[in-house]
Structure 1
Amino acid sequence: MSLFDDDFYSTKVSKRAARESKKRDFVFPYRSGVRKWSNVRIAFVSSITSAVAATLLFGVVFGGGGGTGNGAGTVATAGGVQAIDPLERPIQASAKVRPAVVSVINQQMFALGIGNGEALPEGSEEKGTLREVGVGSGVIISKKDGKAIIITNYHVIDQAHTVTVVLMSGEAREARVVGKDQITDLAVLEIDGKDIDVVAEIGDSSALRPAEYIIAIGNPLGLGESVTTGSVSKIKQIVPVSLNQDGVYDWEQEVIQIDASINQGNSGGPLIDLNGRVVGINSMKIADLGVEGIGFAIPINLAMPIVESLIKLGHVPRPYLGVYTMDLEQYWEQQGFADAGEGELPDAEGGATEEDAEGVTEGALPELKLPDEIYDGVIVLEAVGPAKDAGLLFNDVIVKLDRQSIASTMDLRKYLYGQKKIGDEIEISFYRDGELKVTHFKLGEKEEEE
């Protein structure tokens, strides 16, 4: 006999105990209010439960959220939750916005005469013939008091005599330019809102992440609706631009860099996320040999304050210095052309702080007297408004604003628009006939770009 003879301690189980145990294993799980499960059953039920939980979690995570109704997640059904195929998300997102995307046609007046004639200046009352000179895109962002409001690019409607908007249905409507801003390349149009039921939802461009999937919608080459897809290459890219299209960079634009195609005519159309929300306004691309997949869009978070100002005031109020300028660096380059005997010199219309210089004789350059160590600054070609009242003259060379060095027109603009406000006092350091001078005056208001 072993030391321990009872069933509890024995390594052997009696036949009676084995039979009783086997009976209990196959008894209905509820007895006297107590539920008893075998190890096999517990493992089986746990496996089933885990599988169901994993399936539901996969649908929520990879379906993009549960039952939001925005086409970007899972759809709630009577029987539970059904996951949407991720490949359907771009289709649903574009379908949500496309009815709000329009074509924008720029029509300009041309002088009557033999051949094609010359385009008449914007606002000219001279008789001529109306011609279509460009096609871009736009997106309807709101509808109020029977009018639909559209965002597009400044360069899409620049110099237009009339602007026509074509809806997705093919109907053409005349548009009124509410306001435009060359600095940010944005413009706002207004059309009759009859039968327009869809407006685009504004998203949050600050929430974008590199490699996030995006969709660009527009009207390339005037061929009709176009949808291109890609991803965010860089959420914040600084791109130098030439506002006057003269090859001189006089402003910097903060943009979203994308690899979705932005063809001619896509400008002004919306850049959207997979929720169908507008996160940017398609603006430009790098068009160079061997360069593909580099496009840019204006972040919607930067665009909307400009748009709101254009709707409210018709322009974007900015501090106004009142000078026509040319970069000193450009002057030295032109002097080099002259010394090399390259023939007629380029126009001295390089960068302009608020306006383009128009009164400079073609081929002529101002003769400057500067200390040998001065290489950077901006030359005053003409002073108007506050600058004229403060005594600035032709040939003065501005080198500092508020004791901060200014090397170019771009620096001058960035400092004025980024650091100063209308009515602020500013200190100008400049050279006149080789002598450093300082003056102070209050900045005026620049109502619109001329």
Structure 2
Amino acid sequence: MDYNREDEQYGPERPRRSKRGYFLSSLIGVIVGAALMAFLLPYWTGGGHGANSMNTNQNIGSAQVKTVNVNVNDAVTKMVSDVSDTVVGVLNIQKTDIWGESGEAGSGSGVIYKKNGNTVYIVTNHHVIEGASQIEISLKDGSRVPADLVGSDRLMDLAVLKVKTDKIKAIAQFGNSDKVKVGEPVIAIGNPLGLEFAGSVTQGIISGTERTVPVDSNGDGQPDWNAEVLQTDAAINPGNSGGALMDISGKVIGINSMKIAESAVEGIGLSIPSKLVIPVIQDLEKYGEVRRPFLGIEMKSLSDIASYHWSQTLKLPKGIKSGTVVMGVDAFSPAGKAGLKKLDVITGFDGHKVNDIVDLRERLYQKKIGDRVKITFYRSGKKKTADVKLTEADRLQR
């Protein structure tokens, strides 16, 4: 019968062992004990696997792993200290009454990106300065200097300002937004809710790249453009518009533009990537506007037109359920010269299907001034094509 240790003292008397038996038992015990000590000793002295996990240098097979301690807080603090002066406040001043009195209509942020002598260039959002009769820049020391509008672009929501001052020393550097990865830490700097919170810094990560959001660029209530943006969870609030989204090295990878403002949505800020910002500000500096090809038509998405007009007015075949309807044509425009007319329905642009006005505009702006394109359209139920030579957009068409 077997007994456990608690019951052993109550068990029957066992026969006595011989001295030889005691010797063998003792010898075996010594051998087992020595083996056990040899196994456990490295752990007690810090030489076992548990101790290795705490070492700075570890040997795992043939590879050496180094544990490096990085103080991220110190790196971020230093970076912010180095670049915070490159973000300024932008004040939109408008006339408030018939007597010509002016007042602040709103404020935003801007990024200093270029300096030529005492002339300083600042990029901000178009919507920050839209409608302004005067623009002022608020510097970190609280002083204000008047700014001139070099040019702006509603479609990309960007504007370039310039000021003459010897107070500005720091200049921001652009990074490459194409190299940004999801999960990468970023810093947003701007003036949320006005100048009272000037120079506010928020930290987050890149939540998504190459996001597209519908934009109503002409204010008619219908999206007519898909803006490509970076998505971040760094807090971006009203007043942050035009401020900088920076990588951990302090390079500007985006210009903060918008936040999805819905009660059920939190932590979604959007920033115009630097790869799109740079060519726009170059055009604005050089021409005062962004030069783009245009067709010279007024247009509307087929999906925005009552379906009974598809067959009754436009006389479209039953299989045509998407496209862009020509609502008007400038006779001297590229489209007018190519023979397009009112109520033509464009379904193809240079070999690509056109679903709506957003599609058509995106395809158009991928082309260059002077390019020739083939447009496929329907007129009174018949499929036609037109060869169009693109020219520079008229000021009235922008």
Q: Which stretches in structure 1 are left out of the alignment for 5+ residues?
A: 1-42, 64-84, 113-126, 337-365
- Alignment of 1:102 with 2:84, yes or no, is no
2:79 to 88, 93, 98: 93
Shift of 1:389: 2.5
SS in 2 for 1:156: helix
Give distance in 2, aligned partners of 1:436 and 1:332: 21
Residues 305-352 of structure 1 show CA distances to partners (whole Å, capped at 9, x for unaligned) of 22222222222211111111111110127979xxxxxxxxxxxxxxxx
Residues 340-419 of structure 1: pairs in structure 2 closer than 5 A: 367-384=313-330, 385-418=333-366
Residues 222-279 of structure 1 show CA distances to partners (whole Å, capped at 9, x for unaligned) of 1232111111111332222222344422211221110011100101100112222212
Shift of 1:443: 0.7
TM-score (norm 2): 0.77
Q: Which stretches in structure 2 are left out of the alignment for 5+ residues?
A: 1-46, 59-64
Residues 191-210 of structure 1: pairs in structure 2 closer than 5 A: 191-210=163-182
Could you tell me whether the CA contact under 8 Å between 1:92 and 1:276 is conserved in 2?
no
Give distance in 2, aligned partners of 1:109 and 1:374: 50
Counterpart position of 1:443: 390
2:380 to 433, 440, 450: 433
Amino acid of the structure 2 residue aligned with 1:224: F
Give distance in 1, aligned partners of 2:329 and 2:79: 51
Counterpart position of 1:291: 265
Could you tell me whether the CA contact under 8 Å between 1:318 and 1:447 is conserved in 2?
no
- Alignment of 1:224 with 2:203, yes or no, is no
Counterpart position of 1:81: none
Give distance in 2, aligned partners of 1:334 and 1:272: 51
Could you tell me whether the CA contact under 8 Å between 1:316 and 1:447 is conserved in 2?
no
Could you tell me whether the CA contact under 8 Å between 2:56 and 2:66 is conserved in 1?
no
Flag the 1:252–1:224 CA change in 2: closer, same or farther, 3 A. Answer: same
Counterpart position of 1:332: 306
Give the fraction of aligned pairs with identical amino acids, expressed as a percent: 41
Residues 70-100 of structure 1 show CA distances to partners (whole Å, capped at 9, x for unaligned) of xxxxxxxxxxxxxxx3212222211111111
> C-alpha root-mean-square deviation of aligned residues, in Å?
2.7
Residues 161-217 of structure 1 show CA distances to partners (whole Å, capped at 9, x for unaligned) of 222111111111111111212222211110113121111122232332222221111
Give distance in 2, aligned partners of 1:292 and 1:271: 18
2:153 to 171, 174, 181: 181
Give distance in 1, aligned partners of 2:137 and 2:157: 18
Give distance in 2, aligned partners of 1:396 and 1:193: 54
Greater Cα offset, 256-265 or 182-191: 182-191
Counterpart position of 1:274: 248
Give distance in 2, aligned partners of 1:238 and 1:369: 33
Give distance in 1, aligned partners of 2:315 and 2:308: 16
Flag the 1:233–1:130 CA change in 2: closer, same or farther, 3 A. Answer: same
Could you tell me whether the CA contact under 8 Å between 1:396 and 1:430 is conserved in 2?
yes
Flag the 1:394–1:289 CA change in 2: closer, same or farther, 3 A. Answer: same
TM-score (norm 1): 0.69
SS in 1 for 2:383: strand
Residues 40-189 of structure 1: pairs in structure 2 closer than 5 A: 61-63=68-70, 85-110=71-96, 112=98, 128-189=100-161
Shift of 1:128: 4.2
How many residues are paired up? 335
Residues 48-89 of structure 1 show CA distances to partners (whole Å, capped at 9, x for unaligned) of xx97878xx979x543xxxxxxxxxxxxxxxxxxxxx32122
Flag the 1:433–1:166 CA change in 2: closer, same or farther, 3 A. Answer: same
Shift of 1:139: 0.8
SS in 2 for 1:220: coil
Give distance in 2, aligned partners of 1:447 and 1:394: 19
Residues 253-268 of structure 1: pairs in structure 2 closer than 5 A: 253-268=227-242
